[in-house]
Structure 1
Amino acid sequence: MKKIYFLCTGNACRSQMAEGFAKQLLPSDWKIQSAGIETHGLNPKAVEVMAEVGVDISRQTSKLIDPAFLKQCDLVVTLCGDAHDRCPVTPPSVTKLYWPLPDPAPSNDLEVFRSVCDQIKTKVLSLN
């Protein structure tokens, strides 16, 4: 079973959307989680734009990085510079990707959320 971890600063938007898409689009035998350096709660606009594309993330919660899970992962994807710079060290066996996507939260604009959502979906599809 492959394990994938999506990391962001607050685990509120980008990493949550990536987790939602990955659970829908990647093989069902993959263990998929998201987490943050901090917890900022699940952003309601992220939930809204994901619902628009048929992915329900409303039951996901904002979580801190679990070092044990991180070390067992096959792939770790950081979705912001802060998480990329502050991510705990992983063993050499862990593949790391960096997707420097803009944080939609400060804009509070649904169009910005939709744009980031589309970018995340494209990137998640490339993992398959």
Structure 2
Amino acid sequence: MSDTLSPPEVLRLTGHPVRWRLLNELARSDLQVRELTALVGQKQSLTSYHLGQLRTGGLVTMRRSSADKRDTYYSLDLAACRTLLMQAGAALHPGLRLIPAAPPPPQVGSAPLRVLFLCTGNSSRSQMAEALLRHLAGPRAEAASAGSAPKPLHPDAIRVMHERGLDMSAHHPKHLGEFTGRRFDRVITLCDRVREVCPELPGAPETTHWSLPDPAAPDQGGYPAFVRTADDLTTRIRFLLHTLSV
């Protein structure tokens, strides 16, 4: 059979029921393998096998937890997934060449969704996410950020946002205890340590975890790590905008 008649690899990868379920769970949050095993109702060995298939296919990435190096977090690469599915449609017929949809406009009269970003120090990742969501969402969302052990805002976080046209010079670190009495629609943890200590907030907000390394950590390589973090957050938040009204 010629290559032109062979289905794109992404269809084989996504077409398996277990892998499709894994992708659905990872589209909502970064998760550990034991969590995914419980969610899909399979043995851990089988879950790990399918995660390996998705990693080989470029749909899923993994990184060691910064809270416990014995744990591993898996993430769905939404940008890669979109590209591969777009290519699959175009391979069948030019008329099926998918065009990324724009985020839905805010509904008239609807209240903005309240989103809280959390990390340990509230010195870089969560502050950057707060600034990016405010900029990209406009009236659709209200963003805030906090940390479990706040420390001064990192100058490279201010610098990388300034290079994107966003001024964080007036931002200041906040303790997550300041928000325990406030209601949020979504709470997004950005580091593995704070995920474990995040208190329950009023109203049972939807929770999501984005397992991002601390760009200020000595082993991350200095300022380029802040650029990578800003790029990753920008991609994730652009995809988040499509779910704000869901």
Query: How much does 1:29 deviate?
Result: 4.6
Partner of 2:145: 34
Partner of 1:127: 240
Query: Structure 2: any 5+ residue segments left out of the alignment?
Result: 1-110, 242-246
**1:6-25 to 2 correspondence within 5 Å?**
6-25=117-136
Query: How much does 1:16 deviate?
Result: 0.3
Flag the structure with more relative contact order, 1 or 2, with Cα contacts below 8 A and sequence separation at least 6: 1
Partner of 1:85: 196
What is the CA–CA distance in structure 1 between the aligned matches of 2:204 and 2:138, rounded to whole Å? Answer: 21
Provide, for residues 56-82 of structure 1, a one-character-per-residue CA deviation record: whole Å limited to 9, x for no partner.
Answer: 11111100112012xx10000000001
Correspondence 1:76 to 2:187: yes
**1:84-103 to 2 correspondence within 5 Å?**
84-91=195-202, 93-103=204-214
What is the CA–CA distance in structure 2 between the aligned matches of 1:83 and 1:98, rounded to whole Å? Answer: 10
Amino acid at match of 1:100: S
Query: How much does 1:55 deviate?
Result: 1.3
Partner of 2:230: 117
Query: How much does 1:93 deviate?
Result: 3.4
Provide, for residues 45-64 of structure 1, a one-character-per-residue CA deviation record: whole Å limited to 9, x for no partner.
Answer: 00001111111111111001
Partner of 1:52: 163
What is the CA–CA distance in structure 2 between the aligned matches of 1:16 and 1:4, rounded to whole Å? Answer: 12
Counting helix residues as a fraction of each chain, which structure ranks higher? 2
Provide, for residues 87-115 of structure 1, a one-character-per-residue CA deviation record: whole Å limited to 9, x for no partner.
Answer: 00235631001000010112361111100
Higher CA-based Rg: 2
TM-score calculated relative to the size of structure 2 = 0.49
Q: 2:191·2:213 contact (CA, 8 Å) conserved in 1? A: yes
What is the CA–CA distance in structure 1 between the aligned matches of 2:121 and 2:148, rounded to whole Å? Answer: 6
What is the CA–CA distance in structure 1 between the aligned matches of 2:138 and 2:167, rounded to whole Å? Answer: 18
Amino acid at match of 1:121: T
